[in-house]
A and B are shown apart, each in its own frame.
Chain A
Amino acid sequence: AQSVTQLDSHVSVSEGTPVLLRCNYSSSYSPSLFWYVQHPNKGLQLLLKYTSAATLVKGINGFEAEFKKSETSFHLTKPSAHMSDAAEYFCVVSDTGGSQGNLIFGKGTKLSVKP
Chain B
Amino acid sequence: DSGVTQTPKHLITATGQRVTLRCSPRSGDLSVYWYQQSLDQGLQFLIQYYNGEERAKGNILERFSAQQFPDLHSELNLSSLELGDSALYFCASSAPPGRSYGYTFGSGTRLTVV
Q: Measuring CB to CB, which residues of chain A are less than 8 angstroms from any residue of chain B?
A: 34, 36, 42-46, 49, 51, 90, 98-100, 102-105, 107-108
Instruction: Judge whether A42 and B107 touch: CB under 8 Å.
Output: yes
Known: A43-B2, A46-B103, A100-B50. A90 touches B43 (CB 8 A): yes
Q: Interface of B with A (CB < 8 Å)?
A: 2, 31, 33, 35, 42-45, 48, 50, 55-56, 58, 90, 92, 94-97, 99, 101-108
**Minimum distance in angstroms from B60 CB to a CB of chain A:** 12
Check A99–B101 contact: CB distance below 8 A: yes
CB distance from B11 to the nearest CB of A (A): 15
Given known contacts A43-B2, A108-B42, A103 and B33 CB-to-CB distance under 8 angstroms: yes
How many whole Å from B90's CB to the nearest CB in chain A? 7
Complex-state Cα separation, A49 to B45, whole angstroms: 19
Q: Is the CB of A102 within 8 A of B2?
A: no
Could you pull out 12 A-B pairs where Cβ atoms are within 8 angstroms? A34-B103, A43-B90, A43-B107, A44-B92, A44-B105, A46-B102, A49-B102, A99-B101, A102-B56, A103-B33, A107-B42, A108-B43
The answer to whether A99 and B97 have CB atoms under 8 Å apart is: yes
Given contacts A49-B102, A99-B99, 5 further A-B contacts (CB under 8 A): A45-B2, A99-B97, A100-B50, A100-B94, A105-B44
